[in-house]
Structure 1
Amino acid sequence: MLFRFILVGLCIFVVSACQYANNTTDSALVAVSKASSDSVAQPVHINYEKYKLANGLTVILHQDKSDPLVHVDMTYHVGSARELPGKTGFAHFFEHMMFQGSENVADEQHFKIVTDAGGTLNGTTNRDRTNYFQTVPANQLEKVLWLEADRMGFLLPAVTQEKFEIQRETVKNERAERVDNQPYGRRHEKIAEALYPEGHPYGWLTIGYVEDLDRVNVNDLKAFFQRWYGPNNAVLTIGGDIDIAQTKAWISRYFSEIPAGPDIPAQAPGIAQLSDNRFVTLEDNIHLPLLQIVLPTVHARHEDEAALDVLSNILGSGKTSLFYESLVKTGKAVQAGVSHPCSELACEFNLMALISPESGESLAGMYDTIQTMLDTFESRPFDDDALLRVKASIKASTIYGLQSVSGKVSTMAYNETFFGNPNLINEDIARYNNVTKEDVYRVFRKYIKGQKAVVLSVVPHGQSALAAAPQTFQSAPREFAIQQETTSIDVARQTSRTSSAGFDRSVVPEAGPAPSVTVPEYWRDRLDNGMQIIGVTSDETPTVSFTLDMEGGMLLDPMEKAGLSQMTAMMMNETTQGYSNEAMSNELAKLGSSISFTSNGRYTQVFVSSLTENLDATLALLKEKLFRPAFLESDFDRLKKQVIDGINSQAKNPSALAERATSLVLWGKQNRISLSQTGTAETIQNITLDDVKRFYANYYVPAKSTLVMVGDISQAALIDRLAFLSDWQGSDYTIPGYASFPEYQSNQIYLVDVPGATQSTVRMVSRSLPYDATGDYFHAQLMNFPLGDDFNSRINQNLREDKGYTYGAYSSFNGGKSLGWFEAGAELKQQYTEAGIVELMKEINQYKQQGITEAELAFMQNAFTLSEALEYETPMDKAAFLRRLVAYDLPSDYKQTQKSIIRGIAKPELDKVASRLLNTQDLQIIIVGDKQALQPQLEALAMPVYDISFAGG
């Protein structure tokens, strides 16, 4: 995680119209069938109140007192689809500006105020809307409403040319990091250009083009704000532990005097029309060729959308799909799938395949194979289970959506913004339940069979001949007369004025009494074979989730067969003695359940989730998967090829290369942990099926296992249902120790050359402390917070906000059970690689010498203590708390001890920690970038430079 609190983000891709996956209700009021599996879901009732202020602001309030927190979402009905040609990326750019202060909120203070209140915040932009959201302790609601109102009504007085330029550079850095410097990063841009006609609002990515970002000015920003950011174009949705009457009074106080903006006309759907297939070739820094076929269909909530979603599921979702059967299982593709993402104005039917080079398949051959699959779809009738799987997923997803207030709020905000009704759950359930086989075949014939498509081939640089077909479409030069917003700037909304309500808006509202926060009540048990069980019984939703952790994981791999633990876990997800891959996936899907095995660092883990009503059937399938794996040679050979292909594809990914280099530098090539979880192409080649069988026999045993459960079931009932695990036996085992680690006497640079890279991925690392909950490591976390573990940290403010070198910079202490390290880094503009490294070093040294300020200390104390109200909301949150208790053998009151330490700690103590642990002379510098372009800067750093190559995986 880059920061403890989330950076302002960008949602590049479209909003899926399959909203059943996120639909949520009040857990206290929902009525969900617990009867037979024949009933997908009964009608649900969501407790909310909706009203509108005189200025047009729509307000939705939802009370949920299950946790002492509130979630506030302000959604504006404006995204990149509202931009003018030649000024793309402006909606997202403006999202950044909304965090740069307003008349009564100083620059960067939005982040600081919410963090200081113990909350989290973010903002996202997509094609059709921009939203800003905060989750805070319940007593901080008024403060959040004050913040949102100030930037809605009083933003422009705080806008300066300097802020504008800083955020322009930040957005350009974001595009470089997330699009231009990522393998396959530009494929969505190429598809949008080819699919939509010139001038269509979906014809560009939300993040826009760099030349357009360079073109806009401050006056454009002001006009954009005046046009789109009025209260009449916004939906304010609040959910959580709220007092309805008091919340209404605050909303009236802060928002009612903000004048409405111009009327906003609705946009008509703009479904693409293609007269011919458009073949497009993208040369990129990749290893595996990719084929993507995109067909235009309908728009969000069109009457045919649900049937098209079901069709995409049948064709290409999971192991029961035709794409899996024909492309993945046969080894032709490393990955393949079908999706049907929808936006307000248009939907797209996507068919994608990532080619396996070992298969000998070409992009042209893959295109022909997919066309044959489509041509014969009508002659391969699908069974009733295909519809049952989709309908079961609706039921499960609806119920799982109840688990967080943020999920409820965001769904209501989405539905109200686009469809004028916050509660569309029952309609969504009904429209998917009503899909028939005939509907699926009908939409296939209407929108897919024989229809024209955009066909994108992504090939390595200089290998355009590998494309599925010669390019027939070329994006037109971007030449047009730049249009100006016609909205005049309303002086009343950009000048300072006194509130007519008779209060001073410059005064930050005081927080109410702090909510009482208690750790979840949990229970412990132990089976006869020694397995520990720890759980929280919660009836907030009728679900049960648990994780079975078996300690060892990758640490048990022989060095020459690194990746064996992961290969074994992958095989556990395959065929069993009683079920084929497809049959097992089908049974789980019909239940709305999931069972997955993975090797994750120090642990092999089994994740299980189920509706409470289907727990018995789900556990029967777990018993089959855990104790009766088939270990087929055909499954093993296919997975082995996929893993090797995946490893090779990562050889072009800067972030993955940086991770590999970091592990190698920290731990040395004699230790298993110096290699990635998956191992290397060479070590995977060394693994045999017999190795997998031995790993399973030796290490899939209860000796070092723990089961962590959160769900709607009592301790006694769960233990009774887990009786089959009591019979599980196996010998104990020893986890190997570590070989010696490399020692370094001075700073050195380790360079991974990625020719053509547009950025430099920089990591500065040194070994440090393993995890502890209340000792030195915990103190290091506290000390580091203002240095590099917060958006407002010294490092991020310097490199992102002041210098414009990066989208984000950080420092962190990372500790596990036995090892730990310190890390600082950033994705830097190539031309500022040396300067960025110098600034990182400078900030660390200054902090070491000067220590924390009293203001930073108080800020850290609030951020760490007040945020506890948010820590136990969802089953995942509760499970994380339990897992930490068990993994580190912590006392049940360790959170209280942490709070006492935080509240009592003083500057001298933290300064000593900084002086002892922040040693820049120990930092080894990893750089992933274009060696030839970086050479002069590397020389200027005057440090030894060593090349690292991961050729051959």
Structure 2
Amino acid sequence: MLGSMSPELACSSAATNARRGRSFAIPLAAGLLLSLAACGEKSPPPEQPTPPQPSVEVETADTPSDILASSDLPEPLPAPLADDAMGVTVHRLANGLTVYISTDRQTPRFTSWIAVRAGSRHDPADSTGLAHYLEHMLFKGTGALGTIDADAEAVHLLRIAELYDALRATDDEGERGEILTAIDAETQKSARFAVPNEFEQTYGKLGINRLNAFTSFDQTVYLSEVPSTRLEAWARVEAERFRNPRFRLFYPELEAVYEEKNRSLDNPAWRTFESMFQALFPGHPYGSQSTIGLIEHLKVPAYADMVAFFQRWYVPNNIAIVLAGDIDAETALPVIEKYFSDWAPRALETPAAGELAPLSERVQRTVKAPGEAEVHLAWQLVPANHEDEPALYILDQLMDNATAGLIEVELVLSQKLPDAGAYTEIMREAGAWMMYGTAREGQSLAEVEGLLLGVVEKLKAGDFTQEQLDAVKLNATIREMRELESNWARVAKMTEAFVNHTPWSQAADRSERIKAVTREDVIAVANTYLGDAYVAVYREKGEFTPPKITKPQITPVAIDPERQSAFAAEILAMPASELEPEWLVEGEHYTRTKLPSGTLIAAPNRANELFTLSYEFDFGYQQRPLLCLALELMEQSGIRGEGAMSPAELKRALFAMGTTVSVRCGVDSASLTLSGIDDKLEDSVRLLDAWLHRPALTQDTRDKLVANILSQRKDELEDPRQIGRALANFARYGKNSPSLVEPSNQALRRANLRELGRLLASLPSTRHRSSYFGPRAADAVAAQVTLGRRHRPAPKVPAESFRRVADGRIFFLDQKRAQAEISITLPEKPLPAEERALARLFSEYVGGGMGALIFQEIREARGLAYSAWGYYATGRRPQDAAAVFASIGTQADKTFEALKAMLPLLRQTPLQPARFASAKRNLLEEYRTNRVLPRAVPDAVKGWDDLGEASDPRPRSWEFVQTAEIDQLGEFSQRLGSEPLIISIMGDAERIDMDALGSIAPIEKVTVEQLFSY
């Protein structure tokens, strides 16, 4: 499917009810991505010495106007285009800084992306990874923010830069060790004046959140969500950030980059993608350079090159501020002008030209990895702004639209492959169209490649109808309507236009150009670009031995939460009107209606004519073991009897209406969700009802489906991602682990069509919850959405509980990999309702972003992990056990050190008044400025219902947090210290100090076979 950036999130949910399955993730961007916070302001010119600024030979133009003329900047657009639903305006400051604005008043916040037209494509060939670790360093503060004495600190920063120059100049390991020791010592000296993560902490106190960043081929982008009342503070800080950065604490931060590299090495999808692009663009940085960086370059970080990269590309005539939300040009432009106008432009260099020679033949590469065997095929495509791009979009969606594409119908519905799909990447200078297929057990990769190419030939021969083409266009329109609801989608679209040098008139007109694509256009581009010259990457089963990155000795940086720079104090003191929280009110924001089937929760969609309708069943495969198999079989089947349809006809009928059916099946819950255009609601519900009551189940489809599931299960027994998830659940839940209560292979083989059909037919008549988000009122839609009759009670789901171990336990699984994945659980009894607000405050204190305890102590102070998080999980229902969940992803030889640093943060949580005050202020600002978006209202209400809350519980939390005392947090955290530890570790035993690990808790070694029911 057509995609752009898919940054990998560092923190993942600990939820265990996700439906078993797999989606191919494309690692196109690297970055911090830690769900943090943001805001800003302007400072006076720095008076302190600056870190070394290597001379950069930049060809200068005679005048600023010459510089801007050569920068290929977007044309200003002071008023929105007539037919632009986003209402975008484009503005340019005198220094070349571009500002995009799209107004949406849903919430009192705006989303900010600050985009730099420079990414890994712009890295020097001998210093790959530069753009990415510069992105990390832009969170370290400035000459005014993040330091209590910039002059004293600058002396040590200068010395650190000199030492990195010396490090790069030697290959002698002994000398390198001495230099690293000196860098560590100077880092300690500089840290005496640093205020680590003051940037994020300041933003958090202002209610600015979702602070983040990513680096991709052609761009580096800095993200935040800002209360509209904090516009001036945000502008002042961001101007200071980009004009006056200080690259402090580089040494421990580089360790986080190493850990990110380790994650990529342990990720077969990332290695497959990099191998594919290396073969597709061998003479161009898109293929020859890794975004995170080559190991040999990361081992010898080019500090001076990083500074030069910043000077070269981080200039106003190469940057855009992209805003969407509760903001407009009249308000924003004077403030942006005030703080950014004195930022001097600079003539831009032309990056080193890369060779984009067309492939002349099929090129094959091989990647070894445990888990499933796959084939990935890739063809070179056009760059951004090419006239063929709209037709190529249609091509991509005809092939794979997740419902009725040629790949779905020919390969997945037919069960020829367990999984297959396609996606597109369009960059500034080139593009690629890629498809993939997963082999089932005993199927050769050559056969998989042949099946994929067979579908390509069907496309090239025009084996699709005008109706299919029209359906793709309709669904593209629906996608655009959905994107208008999201400020993140708006800023992403504007950012893409800036980075790709696309005039906004052209970007806004893209939907019309897609509508104009003809069948002949698609056939023409298919035959033009999808020829015999392509890249084939075979992901074969096998062991991959990751290269080792030697762990340097890092002395922990002392972090004093009481420190604050004068600049941060000024920012926090800036006047701003104070927003009041807004709570959801039944009857105003949503309604509850009693139906024969259960409760209907309805919320109005006032933005467009789209609907989403969900049926939620409070039971899953633990209560009805074959439920997931039945639902998967239904998805592969048609409808029998009146209005009979084959599987392909049914999928195409749904797609032609613009209706998507999503099926989820987990350990103790399942759901069916319809979404589409509201005037197709009745037709969509009728089709779903017929599908459940009259599925055309066949023995052949059942047999092929079971064979594919068994093949996937065998692959999962070798897949580190699946194994790691199962290990954590085994440690937490013991015999009740989701992976152990799944039906066995034998149970799947024995399942017959009659019992599977009965399971499906029984769903509508089992009590369930419904939720509707759409333009109709609840009373107008209730009769149309009701499923089933004579509804029977749902099976009981037992309360969730955790494994009990008397003295704690470490469950260890030996796996050869670069990283160790550590999961920590501190089980508790069910949490009383009156303590939920305190638990939320605890989570904010220990794990609420880059300024919280875990991030600062594990990553910022010690460089022990890229990913480190923790929070208090209250349980989904009042009777469910609560627990503290925490996780660390660290280099294997740092496992013991990382655990020893993490455990006291959870079990003997240090109480620091300044940090507690920050956590309180952050939460209060979150309540003041965050809103539940209309589309999210039904899910929020369902969550409150699960907890037994009759109404929005946040007002009670708001009242509690305002008066909470640090002693209450201390009493709450104190009891966690008495709970027995449950730890799971997946890592390389040869690289982990097992004896030291045993001093924490008894070690129980487990095997993969113990973790699964199959």
Is 1:519–2:579 an aligned residue pair?
no
CA contact (8 A) 2:80 2:88 kept: no
CA contact (8 A) 1:74 1:133 kept: yes
Is 1:762–2:822 an aligned residue pair?
yes
SS of the residue corresponding to residue 356 of structure 1 reads: coil
Instruction: Using the TM superposition, name which of 401-410 and 634-643 deviates more.
Output: 634-643
Instruction: Using the TM superposition, name which of 74-83 and 790-799 deviates more.
Output: 790-799
SS of the residue corresponding to residue 185 of structure 1 reads: helix
Q: Which residue of 1 aligns with 2:136?
A: 96
Q: How does 1:116-265 map to 2 (within 5 A)?
A: 116-118=205-207, 119-155=209-245, 158-160=246-248, 163-177=249-263, 179-242=264-327, 244-265=329-350
CA contact (8 A) 1:292 1:350 kept: yes
SS of the residue corresponding to residue 419 of structure 1 reads: coil
1:183-228 deviation per Cα after TM superposition (whole angstroms, max 9, x unaligned): 3431111112211133544433322212122233221111011000
Q: How does 1:405-804 map to 2 (within 5 A)?
A: 405-422=487-504, 424=506, 426-449=508-531, 451-461=532-542, 507-508=571-572, 510-520=574-584, 521-557=588-624, 561=625, 564-575=626-637, 576-577=639-640, 578-669=644-735, 671=736, 673-675=737-739, 681=745, 684-685=748-749, 687-703=751-767, 705-722=768-785, 725=787, 728-737=789-798, 742-754=803-815, 756-770=816-830, 774-804=833-863
CA distance in 1, matches of 2:262, 2:941: 39
Structure 1 residue 896 displacement after superposition: 0.9
CA distance in 2, matches of 1:94, 1:739: 44
- For 1:614, the aligned partner's letter is K
Is 1:822–2:822 an aligned residue pair?
no
SS of the residue corresponding to residue 61 of structure 1 reads: strand
* Structure 2 gap ranges (5+): 1-8, 14-24, 31-78, 147-195, 546-566
SS of the residue corresponding to residue 513 of structure 2 reads: helix
Partner of residue 114 from structure 1, selected from 186, 189, 203? 203
CA contact (8 A) 1:314 1:321 kept: yes
CA distance in 2, matches of 1:258, 1:886: 52
Structure 1 residue 111 displacement after superposition: 1.7
SS of the residue corresponding to residue 268 of structure 2 reads: coil
CA distance in 2, matches of 1:679, 1:778: 38
1:295-347 deviation per Cα after TM superposition (whole angstroms, max 9, x unaligned): 11211231112222322333344353333344333434221122222111111
CA contact (8 A) 2:802 2:881 kept: no
Q: Which residue of 1 aligns with 2:187?
A: none
Structure 1 residue 372 displacement after superposition: 4.2
CA distance in 1, matches of 2:271, 2:741: 28
Give the alignment's TM-score, normalised by structure 2: 0.80
1:895-939 deviation per Cα after TM superposition (whole angstroms, max 9, x unaligned): 2111111112111111111112343x6012211112343364556
- For 1:404, the aligned partner's letter is S
How big is the alpha-carbon RMSD for the aligned residues of Structure 1 and Structure 2? 3.1
Is 1:355–2:436 an aligned residue pair?
no
Structure 1 residue 700 displacement after superposition: 4.1
Instruction: Using the TM superposition, name which of 121-130 and 192-201 deviates more.
Output: 192-201
CA distance in 2, matches of 1:699, 1:763: 36
CA distance in 2, matches of 1:845, 1:241: 42
Distance change >3 Å, CA 691–CA 797, structure 1 → 2? farther
- For 2:339, the aligned partner's letter is Y
CA distance in 2, matches of 1:574, 1:693: 13
SS of the residue corresponding to residue 585 of structure 1 reads: helix
Is 1:877–2:936 an aligned residue pair?
yes
- For 2:630, the aligned partner's letter is T
CA contact (8 A) 2:374 2:438 kept: yes
Give the alignment's TM-score, normalised by structure 1: 0.85
CA distance in 2, matches of 1:676, 1:225: 52
SS of the residue corresponding to residue 743 of structure 1 reads: coil
1:529-554 deviation per Cα after TM superposition (whole angstroms, max 9, x unaligned): 14211111131232211321121123
CA contact (8 A) 1:271 1:296 kept: no
SS of the residue corresponding to residue 141 of structure 2 reads: coil
CA contact (8 A) 1:182 1:653 kept: no
Distance change >3 Å, CA 263–CA 388, structure 1 → 2? same
CA distance in 2, matches of 1:870, 1:702: 40
- For 1:294, the aligned partner's letter is A
CA contact (8 A) 2:139 2:199 kept: yes
CA contact (8 A) 2:844 2:923 kept: no
* Structure 1 gap ranges (5+): 16-28, 32-41, 465-502
Partner of residue 836 from structure 1, selected from 880, 892, 898? 898
CA distance in 1, matches of 2:533, 2:501: 30
Distance change >3 Å, CA 810–CA 340, structure 1 → 2? closer
Distance change >3 Å, CA 683–CA 114, structure 1 → 2? farther
- For 1:310, the aligned partner's letter is I
Structure 1 residue 645 displacement after superposition: 3.0
Q: Which residue of 2 aligns with 1:899?
A: 958
- For 2:474, the aligned partner's letter is A
CA contact (8 A) 2:115 2:221 kept: yes
Structure 1 residue 810 displacement after superposition: 1.7
CA distance in 1, matches of 2:516, 2:753: 45
- For 1:821, the aligned partner's letter is A
SS of the residue corresponding to residue 299 of structure 2 reads: helix
Count of residue pairs brought into register by the alignment: 865
- For 1:751, the aligned partner's letter is F
- For 2:304, the aligned partner's letter is N
Structure 1 residue 528 displacement after superposition: 4.7
Q: How does 1:276-425 map to 2 (within 5 A)?
A: 276-284=361-369, 286-357=370-441, 360-375=442-457, 377-379=459-461, 381-422=463-504, 424=506
CA distance in 1, matches of 2:271, 2:410: 28
CA distance in 1, matches of 2:997, 2:336: 58
SS of the residue corresponding to residue 107 of structure 2 reads: coil
SS of the residue corresponding to residue 141 of structure 1 reads: helix
Distance change >3 Å, CA 377–CA 591, structure 1 → 2? closer
- For 2:318, the aligned partner's letter is N
Structure 1 residue 808 displacement after superposition: 1.9
1:23-62 deviation per Cα after TM superposition (whole angstroms, max 9, x unaligned): xxxxxx999xxxxxxxxxx944432332211111011223
- For 2:321, the aligned partner's letter is L
